[in-house]
Chain A
């Protein structure tokens, strides 16, 4: 051994017997992976996908598939173009595709999800640095752009059933009354009435294809919480604040459940507001995010011009997230502050 002992006075004598791998500790890693997390989210969305197809027919399936396929295509294309490593196998583009499709009315034309996916993936996600660096939720940002560009298409909701009759969402009925439901008044289904609460819970109502079934979305959300992919803080504070603020703003108590189950609140609170990259990482920050998004949602729904406010609330809170994070750093162990 004497000859082989590392002799620092002569660097050329450093000759190990076999090449051992040397690195800084830890030498043990959990079997968590980004891909597993993303796959869990996809799995959590499957009940709602099945529900969407059940309630809105094959058109919903077509939109979801087009949206997912184009999201994957755009991700691969832009990464090739920017000479980055193609990372479509991490399933994150799949999630964006599904979430975007969930925000569309069932009778939207095929190019709507194509344009939306392109905007979400290229502009919002990849041009800002790709996975983990997007400052907004890509699917929601795309929905906002689609809604601003083609308001007629985007608010022309279909009622469940194979015959694809257009009709008002419960929120629109509450906001504008049955007679001239729909923000753009293209849908005029005289005498529309609020559906039964049970229909709202299981999703047998008008609305975007993936947001109507609270029950199926919650099954997925519970799965994500059990798998520790998301935590309860943001969604619970979000939904609770929305409810309280709606009451404060004068919404009657018997309409409250329609507000909670009717629009995109459940989808937004559990699947969009919990997006890692565009929400705070700090525990207190996540609570504040939920409070803020809840207050904004109620405010837009009651005082704003739109019947629905979930997407804009989350997008606004996305933009505020870096600031929230900055002021909610956890107190370091053993520091007096």
Chain B
């Protein structure tokens, strides 16, 4: 027993030595594109609380996994942070109320991610009465790994970079997958978005606390925070917080899209390559977003579940771009109004950034846990450009971070030749959109590959 412990300590020491010698600056990956940042609109704007919404529309399916069932009925009184939706499935995350008030309706809406989900409509009483359950959970030293994961689960924390995968599932790898590295994703490579940047700058200690909690939950001794080098102020802020930490390192990354893709991030930071079709845990890594780490810190330090989040409201289509702390369930339109409203007729309203964000049919959709940004493009910016034939320039091959040949997958996809698309690796596509971005012929490359992926997977399910 003691021998075993010593053995582990020795390995740990070797590992610590090794990564201390590792390069931690200006790391990157192969492929990708340089996109215009457009972050100057909001990067210097401090976080501010959005106005209290009078009515919130809280979908019961904001995550990857099983939808929640409502725990409240029409007419019930609820408090801030009270659990209002839950599922018995393991891959799911509970939903909490963001206001105190009365449940007016339980209906079905289309969420900004395009899912039809049950939705709890709550009229706020404006008092913001907190749920009694919201209490600090104690210090990390007194919490076990299991307890931390339980707190994360109960707080409804999901991947807040946009993926929406329940965090407690990520932190519960099967026993045969040994995790040795935790990486906090502070790349924020999407143009326009600055929510993670502001969190790192204004609450660096929460980000680091979240990382430590994840490391403790996974029993891992090695943590990194990866940040693109266009946010050096955030790097400095975090470095000041970790100066006494031996196990945590800040890694600066070259500013290149899609550096924030978790497989690219793992590759840049550790040199490891997640196998095709695999997950980060296959190379002993767990990656979590900055906003997720902050949410974990708040869940433990304050007992606060996810009922609000930082949203960057930006783009040339709004008058006063801002970084707002918005309650989950607030309609997009209200958030846009607080950023000075539309600047002229809006062209596109996008949840997320311009590279992978989801364009919305209407602004009558609520902010959900994964809404890191609301981007409004003007009509002129949003109009589709004329598509011309592929000239085989090969720029998409250079841009693809997965080393695919987007022009050929797309050609097969557009002819509905799914076998051809699959043979050229359609399922390995991470849908980052770099190929479509660079294409001089403005061809719908990732758009058609995305279609092929969906069709291939749907066919597999059937057979």
User: Contact residues of A with B, CB < 8 Å?
Assistant: 1-2, 4-9, 14, 16-18, 20-30, 32-34, 36-37, 87, 90, 129-133, 276-277, 281-283, 329-336
Q: Which of B376-432 contact A (CB under 8 A)?
A: 377, 379, 382-385, 388-395, 397, 401-405, 407, 424-425, 428, 431
Residue of B nearest to A278 (CB): B392
B79 within 8 A of A: no
Instruction: From the candidates B263, B331, B388, B397, name the one contacting A334 in the complex (CB within 8 A).
Output: B263
With A8-B108, A26-B354 as contacts: A20 and B392 at CB distance below 8 Å: no
Chain B positions within 8 Å of A14 at CB level: 361
Q: Judging by beta carbons under 8 Å apart, are B347 and A335 in contact?
A: no
Contact call A332/B361, Cβ cutoff below 8 A: no
Q: Is the CB of B362 within 8 A of A6?
A: yes
Question: Does B110 touch A at the CB level, under 8 Å?
Answer: yes
- Docked-complex contact A131 and B360, CB < 8 angstroms: no
Least CB distance, B461 to chain A, in whole angstroms:
21
A133 to B392, CA, bound (A): 9
Q: Quick check: is B278 within 8 A (CB to CB) of the other chain?
A: yes
Q: Is the CB of A27 within 8 A of B331?
A: no
Q: How far is the CA of A129 from the CA of B388 in the complex (A)?
A: 13
- Chain A, residue nearest B442 (CB): A29
Residue B131, interface by CB 8 Å: no
Q: Is the CB of A2 within 8 A of B121?
A: yes
CA distance A331 to B403 in the complex (A): 7
Which B residues are within 8 Å of any A CB, using their own CB? 33, 35-36, 55, 57, 104-105, 107-110, 116, 119, 121, 191, 263, 273-278, 331, 333, 345-350, 354-365, 375, 377, 379, 382-385, 388-395, 397, 401-405, 407, 424-425, 428, 431, 433, 436-442, 444, 446-447, 450
Q: Which residues of A contact B57 (CB under 8 A)?
A: 1-2, 5
In the complex, chain A residues whose CB is within 8 Å of the CB of B104? 2
Report whether B346 and A18 are in contact in the complex, using a CB–CB cutoff of 8 Å.
yes
The closest CB in chain B to the CB of A7 belongs to: B108
Query: What chain A residues lie within 8 Å of B404 (beta carbons)?
Result: 330, 332
- Given A30-B438, A333-B263, also A281-B392 (CB < 8 A): yes
Residues on the A chain within 8 Å of B362, using CB: 4, 6, 16-17, 20
Contact indicator A8/B110 (Cβ below 8 Å): yes
Q: Knowing A1-B331, A333-B401 are in contact, say whether A29-B391 is a contact too (CB < 8 A).
A: no
Across the interface, do B355 and A25 meet the contact criterion of CB distance under 8 Å?
Answer: yes
B422 to chain A, nearest CB (A): 12
Specify which chain A residues have a CB less than 8 angstroms from the CB of B350 in the assembled complex: 25, 27
Q: Is the CB of B388 within 8 A of A90?
A: yes
Which A residues are CB-close (under 8 A) to B105?
A: 2
| Cβ contact of A20, chosen from B274, B349, B407, cutoff 8 A | B349
Main secondary structure of the interface of A (DSSP, over half): loop
Q: Tell me whether B383 and A276 are in contact (CB under 8 A).
A: no
Query: Bound complex: CA of A26 vs CA of B354, how far in Å?
Result: 6
Residue of chain A at shortest CB distance from B447: A24
Known contacts A26-B355, A281-B405, A334-B276; A132 and B438 CB within 8 A of each other: no
Bound Cα distance from A198 to B360, whole angstroms = 64
Q: Which residues of A contact B382 (CB under 8 A)?
A: 21, 27
- What is the CB-to-nearest-CB distance from B450 to chain A, in angstroms, rounded to a whole number? 6
> Does B108 lie within 8 Å of A25, measured CB to CB?
no
CA A22 to CA B276, docked complex, whole Å: 31
- Rounded to whole angstroms, the CA-CA distance of A17 and B397 in the bound complex is 40
Query: Are B109 and A6 in contact, with the CB atoms below 8 A?
Result: yes
- A26 and B359 in contact, given A20-B347, A281-B405, A333-B273 (Cβ under 8 angstroms): no
Report the separation of the CA atoms of residues A72 and B364 in the bound assembly, to the nearest whole angstrom: 52
A1 in contact with B55 (CB, 8 Å): yes
A28-B354 in contact (CB<8A): yes
Given known pairs A27-B382, A283-B397, A336-B275, the reply for A33 and B440 (CB within 8 Å) is yes
Which residues of the partner chain A approach B109 to less than 8 Å between Cβ atoms? 5-7
CA distance A336 to B428 in the complex (A): 13
Chain A residues with Cβ below 8 Å from B424 are: 329
* Chain A residue at minimal CB-CB distance from B334: A1
